[in-house]
């Protein structure tokens, strides 16, 4: 039987950072609360969580990159809300933020969880940040209940899983600096 590696287990010894955009504050506040609730439910102690505030979603990637480079965190969670308006600004911001977060994760070999909502309306963002309820489905896609939908909570769960998975994977964590040394 093949060996299975999963990101389950204790959060003991792990630190987490949550970066929260202040723009669309009612929504991002609930996303942050959801992420913190998930981390606490996973056994993370308060002193092992750092929360960093940035003005808007555009400012998330460089902060995520700096935190990842520090090697202090098992995972970093990014929460924000970019809501479509009547100009192409939405597309530019959404693209830059998602690409920047992905680049930081790849360059520094640290899980950086994308909990930034990109929605067409405020109502959609509210529904995805704990202001609405959604159907809970089983493995067969049958509705088995109704539960609050909070993408921040889901991001917190993903951070716990990925931090645990990364510490179980073989090999040494490699960031950009380590990769440069190897190529010489």
CATH number at residue 179: 3.40.50.960
Per the domain annotation, does 92 fall within a domain? yes
| Residue 9 covered by a domain | no
Q: Which residues are catalytic?
A: 89
Q: Which residue segment(s) compose the domain that 131 sits in?
A: 16-183
User: What is the tens place of the pLDDT at every residue in 98-150?
Assistant: 999 999 999 999 999 999 999 999 999 999 998 766 555 555 666 666 567 99
Q: Is residue 166 part of a domain?
A: yes
Please state the domain count of the chain.
1
Regions in the chain scoring below 50 on pLDDT: 177-184
Single pTM value for the model: 0.85
User: What pLDDT, on a 0 to 100 scale, did the predictor assign at position 140?
Assistant: 63
Position 5 in a domain: no
∠ CA 113-118-123, rounded to 5°? 125
> What pLDDT is recorded for position 34?
96
User: Distance (Å, rounded) from C-alpha 115 to C-alpha 154?
Assistant: 8
95 CB contacts (<8 Å, ≥6 apart)?
none
The first and second tokens of residue 91, run together, are 């597309």
Residue 1 domain flag: no
């Amino acid at each position: 039987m093949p060996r299975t590696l999963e990101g389950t287990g204790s959060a003991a010894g792990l630190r987490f950072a949550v970066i929260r955009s202040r723009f669309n504050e009612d929504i991002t506040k609930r996303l942050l609360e959801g992420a913190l609730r998930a981390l606490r439910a996973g056994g993370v102690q308060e002193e092992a969580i750092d929360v960093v505030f940035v003005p808007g979603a555009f400012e998330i990637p460089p902060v995520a990159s700096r935190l990842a480079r520090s090697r202090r965190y098992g995972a970093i969670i990014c929460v924000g809300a970019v809501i479509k308006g009547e100009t192409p600004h939405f597309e530019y911001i959404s693209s830059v933020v998602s690409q920047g977060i992905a680049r930081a994760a790849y360059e520094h070999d640290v899980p950086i969880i994308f909990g930034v909502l990109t929605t067409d309306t405020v109502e959609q963002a509210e529904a995805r940040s704990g202001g609405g309820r959604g159907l809970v489905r089983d493995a067969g896609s049958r509705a088995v209940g109704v539960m609050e939908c909070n993408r921040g909570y889901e991001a917190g769960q993903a951070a716990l899983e990925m931090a645990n998975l990364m510490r179980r994977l073989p090999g040494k964590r490699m960031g950009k600096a380590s990769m440069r040394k190897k190529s010489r």
